[in-house]
Amino acid sequence: MYTKLIGVDLGGTKFEAGRAAIGMSTHEITLEAKHREAVNPAMSSDQLLEQLFACIELVLTEEVTAIGIGVPGLVNPETGEILDIQNLPAWKKIGLIQIVEEKFKLPVKLNNDVNCFALGSHYAGTGKPYQNMVALSLGTGLGCGVITHGKLYQGLLCGAGEIGMIPYQDGIVEQYSGSFFFQREYGQSAKHMHNRAKAGEKEALDAFRQFGIHLGEAVRIVLFAYAPEAIVLGGSISQAWPYFERSMREGLFDFPYQLQLEQTAFLPENTPDLPLIGAAMLSN
């Protein structure tokens, strides 16, 4: 017997939906189907809704009992309202839960995309063995999702874990631990610098060494605030883990609780489709 749930990941250029099957006895999760729809940030609210509905309809079956949606922005999961969303200005202040529930006659849950990634890692990724973990998403900025006692800790308005907004040097943490760092310091994307690092170019290798030092300061905040069993690293920059792991760890040599640090697992996350699985598990 399986529970069937739909997870949706809303991005600035694409919407993606997947149907997850959860074994009622084994609790194993399988993504049975998924579909992607391209979107344009200039689309109207109605056009975006049409794309969202089309995406969901192509993975919907009669067995599906609920829908979960991950949003790259600030949401109120209680009222189902998107308060602010990156790259899709037409959807600011939209009551998305009510709209989707009325369309599909199914219960709908809403949360931010990094929390969905954290849930996905906890249920189906490298974070699965851990009941207390933090997922860091290294992308344009720095996202953070928190799992405590096997449950998502989201805080008021999903605001828990916003360590990227903490003041740091001449800006905030995420300006030094996301793509912002590479653009500002080197005028290049993190992806381009990663390719150069793989080719052995000194400037790129030095760039990731500096990045690791700054990321270590973000990790220090996580260790003090949450003392997790594991820190999972996802997002596009996590693919460059071999180039910044050492400097990140070196930056933590003076962390005052070394026994805690020794027992904390650092896990780059490469499991596919975790945002979809995590969004689906919002309703589990």
Per-residue pLDDT tens over the stretch 212-257 = 999 999 999 999 999 999 999 999 999 999 999 999 999 999 999 9
Structure confidence by residue, pLDDT tens digits, 118-159: 999 999 999 999 999 999 999 989 999 999 999 999 998 888
57: Cβ–Cβ under 8 A, 6 or more apart, which residues? Answer: none
**pTM for the complete prediction?**
0.96
Domains of the chain are 2-117+274-281 (3.30.420.40), 129-268 (3.30.420.40)
Query: Phi/psi class of residue 43: alpha, beta or left (left: φ > 0; alpha: ψ in -120 to 50)?
Result: beta
- The bridge status of strand 171-172 relative to strand 167-168 is antiparallel
